[in-house]
Amino acid sequence: MDKGLKQGKLIVFSAPSGSGKTTIVRHLLSQPELNLEFSISATSREARGNEIHGKDYYYLSLKEFKTKIKNDEFLEWEEVYRDNFYGTLKSEVERIWSKGKHVIFDIDVSGGLRIKRKFPDQTLAIFVKPPDLNELVRRLKDRGEESPEKISMRVSKAPAELATAPLFDEIVINSNLEEALKNAYQLVSDFISK
């Protein structure tokens, strides 16, 4: 990371798939007074549906991803499923900071905690919790984006992800979306005005 760069804050949102973190992050990005910009993750998986390189993800080949790991170009990375890597490029955070903005992440639990460990004072790590596992399954099915196998793979990871919630700075329970959006806004607003 460029030491001469004026560093903003890092806002991490993590949760099991289907908790609503992406909806919350999109809402916060639409609030100009928060001065946030989304950190686009890199992945070695193929683009799905209407996803666009440089907007949804930076799509890298498995070889490119592994080369960037070797060259220490990631702030954090993880092999989420076999040969399916996700990570945050250092250059992405520097790009956002260079615009004088704060970085917001929609990222898996272990990646979120790694960022918090690297930047303990300038990171607010928020865990978004679904009301319960049944609701999580219902939301994933309602999306209609994934096969039953993929859904059960995501659901099987959820208990381990939920167990990490106490390691985060804050927990937002998403049983009522309006309330969750309000809580998240308040937490972020308070943090960046410190």
Half-sphere exposure of 170 (CA within 13 A, CB side): 19
Between 51 and 4, the more confident residue is: 51
Tens-digit pLDDT profile for residues 51-96: 999 998 999 999 999 999 999 999 999 997 788 999 999 999 999 9
Tens-digit pLDDT profile for residues 169-182: 999 999 999 999 99
pLDDT the model gives residue 144: 75
In the annotated binding site for ATP, the residues are: 15-22
Q: Residue 154's pLDDT band (boundaries 50, 70, 90)? A: confident
pLDDT-wise least confident of 30-34, 161-165, 183-187: 161-165
Q: Which residue has the tokens 């319960």?
A: 132
Burial 5-41 (b: 16+ CB within 10 A, else e): eeebbbbbbbbbbbbbbeebbebbeeeeebebbbbbb
Q: Residue 145's pLDDT band (boundaries 50, 70, 90)? A: confident
pLDDT the model gives residue 2: 58
Tell me what percent of the chain is helix, strand and coil, each rounded to the nearest 5. 45, 25, 35
Superfamily of the domain at 10-192? P-loop containing nucleotide triphosphate hydrolases (3.40.50.300)
Q: Residue 4's pLDDT band (boundaries 50, 70, 90)? A: low
In the annotated binding site, the residues are: 15-22
The angle, 0 to 180 degrees and rounded to 10, between the axes of the packed helices 148-163 and 133-143 is 140
3-state secondary structure of 42: strand
Q: Record the pTM.
A: 0.88
Q: Which of 27, 79, 58 is nearest to 188 (CA)?
A: 27
Q: What is the 3-state secondary structure (H, E, C) of 45-97?
A: CCCCCCCCECCCEEECCHHHHHHHHHCCCEEEEEEEECCEEEEEEHHHHHHHH
Average pLDDT over residues 15-43: 94
189 pLDDT more than 80: yes
Contact 182, 119 (CB under 8 A): no
Strands (E), 99-183: 102-106, 123-129, 170-173
Q: Residue 5's pLDDT band (boundaries 50, 70, 90)? A: low
